[in-house]
Amino acid sequence: MKKNIYLLILSLILAMLVGCGSKDATTGESKDAANNTEASKDSVTLALDADIATLDPTTSASMQDLRVFSNIYDTLLTKDESDNFVPALAESWDVSDDGLTYTFHLKKGVKFHNGEELKASDVVFTFNAAKASPYLEGQVIAVKDAEAVDDYTVQINMSYPYAPFLLSIHDTIYILNEKAVTEGGETYGENPVGTGPYKFVRHDVGEKVVLERFDDCYKGKAPIKNVEFKVITDSNTSLIALETGDVDFTYEIPMISAQSVKDNKDLEAHEYNSIQLSYVLMNTEKEPFNNKLLRQAINYAIDKDTIIQIAAEGMGNKTEGVLSKDIFGYSEDVKGYAYDAEKAKELLVQAGYPNGLEITFKTMDGTYKKAAELIQENLRAIGITVNIELEEKNSYIQDLVSGNYEVGNISVSVGKDADFYGLLFRTGEQANFSKYSNAKVDKLFEEARKSSDDVKRLENYKEVMQMVNDEGVIVPLYYPISICASKASLDVGTIDPQGYTHVFDMSWK
């Protein structure tokens, strides 16, 4: 299977390094926090912790880009608050009995920002672009081809039944306008065209991205007209901007400031459970980590509770396994490792290291470094000397992909179905940093992927996740509890577990 996962990894991981905030509108006027004027009610500013790279969804999977372009584009279907699939650009869809054909019936009269009407040919163009994209090919890996039955009917033909297909496309495959992309060529990402509630106005590099309400949107007019995504690279600065009224919403605040935000009657804190797994990884191709007993010893030796309290400042849900309760495939029957230093010492002896050993732990700055230092103390207590090697983000990722490491820690979000976690554990996957290879694990993932029987799929995922635990491939630590903040007078709507919002759902109270 063709993969170019390295670039994708840049956006899937490092969740805990994200921080942002928000400011006022397209007019460039300052906003007085004490002056809740009609002008301010027609504008909202959200900050990004880094500038966008592109607004072409086929050439980026960056969270910063996504937070902007998810307001410009739409998908065929989406999910409601009860986690049910509901229509978006498709008013309905049918699935053949054999699971090999999905037929989408498009809403008529849907307009792109350039005035073009959405047609089936645009959807076919989008799926072809997704199949050719290193960022999106994994979401459409089972798609054989797409064809336009008529102007408003699209048939997606599958190479094999793929149970999580709707889940894989509902928030990743944004429908493009073929004419706009073709005419835009290599610079299309600088002037995007979608069907979403907001149209692109301008991008001031390093400063902000400005959007304006698209009044002809098929969803109707958004409550807020003007939107600015402002680049604020430091979460402390972003919080100050929120407090002074220079911004209206920030995706992340310093954890140490969470209580002060909750105590401020002019602000509102929004907590949500992230689906980004924080974990310790070991290179199973390298000695001594090709020794299962050693990996199990390390699992027992790590005190997850302390890591959550100190490194994550209490904002995390401890996990024994790879999956959280919010991911299809989770089973409470999957057992992990309780913190047990004495058991860890016993296993270390059984592994052949009665006198301990010395290892190198690569990591990055910030929360990762704090966690690594706590792990260093945990392992020292059982006889393992840990040398921490701090790396810059891009170098660290390259080392993980190439296998140039012994032990490290990371955070990954790959989706809401256990199938997507095959990227971390199937033989040969570039996101399989552990370099783990197990023919039975590969087979279980493959069987579940091609099954339309949810009961069977759950059985497979339960077995595969227990095997991964038993083998001690990684040390699952926790799923972060993320917190963002806004003006108390701003209704922010729903915050996705992957960390983005839809401005269409926002309104001033």
pLDDT tens per residue, range 165-197: 999 999 899 999 999 999 999 999 999 999 999
**Helix/strand/coil for 255:** helix
Predicted local confidence at residue 283, as pLDDT: 98
Phi, psi of 62 (to 5 degrees): -65, 135
Averaged pLDDT, 122-137: 94
Q: What is the average pLDDT across 26-52?
A: 63
Share above pLDDT 70 across residues of the chain, in percent, rounded to a whole number: 92
**Torsions phi, psi of 9, nearest 5?**
-60, -35
CATH of domain 73-182: 3.90.76.10
Helix ranges restricted to H, 141-186: 165-169, 178-184
Q: How far apart are CA 204 and CA 200, in angstroms?
A: 12
Tell me the pLDDT of the chain averaged across its residues: 90
Distance CA 71, CA 227 (A): 10
Q: Spell out the domain ranges in the chain.
A: 73-182, 277-480
Residue of 414 and 118 predicted with greater confidence: 118
What is the per-residue pLDDT for 204?
Answer: 97
Per-residue pLDDT tens digits for 242-252: 999 999 999 88
% of the chain surpassing 90 pLDDT: 75
d(CA 242, CA 236): 10
Question: Mean pLDDT lowest for which of 16-25, 156-165, 253-262, 381-390?
Answer: 16-25
Is the per-residue pLDDT at 412 higher than 70? yes
7 confidence band (pLDDT: 50, 70, 90): very low
Tell me which fold the domain 277-480 belongs to. Answer: Dipeptide-binding Protein; domain 3 (3.10.105)
Confidence of residue 253 (pLDDT cuts 50, 70, 90): confident
Q: Measuring CA to CA, which residue among 24, 81, 360, 14 is closest to residue 225?
A: 24
Q: 157 pLDDT band (50/70/90 cuts)?
A: very high
Which pLDDT belongs to residue 109? 98
Q: How far apart are CA 303 and CA 320, in angstroms?
A: 12
SS3 of residue 389 by DSSP = strand
What are the tens digits of pLDDT across the range 291-313? Answer: 999 999 999 999 999 999 999 98
Q: Is the pLDDT of residue 464 over 90?
A: yes
Cα separation of 339 and 378, whole Å? 10
Average of pLDDT values for 65-76?
96
Kindly tell me if the per-residue pLDDT of 88 is higher than 80.
yes
pLDDT band at 238 (very low <50, low <70, confident <90, very high): very high
Helix (H) or strand (E) holding 448: helix 439-450
pLDDT reported for residue 40: 54
- Between 340 and 273, the more confident residue is 340
**Does position 205 have pLDDT exceeding 80, yes or no?**
yes
Closest Cα partner for 142 from 496, 497, 482, 450? 450
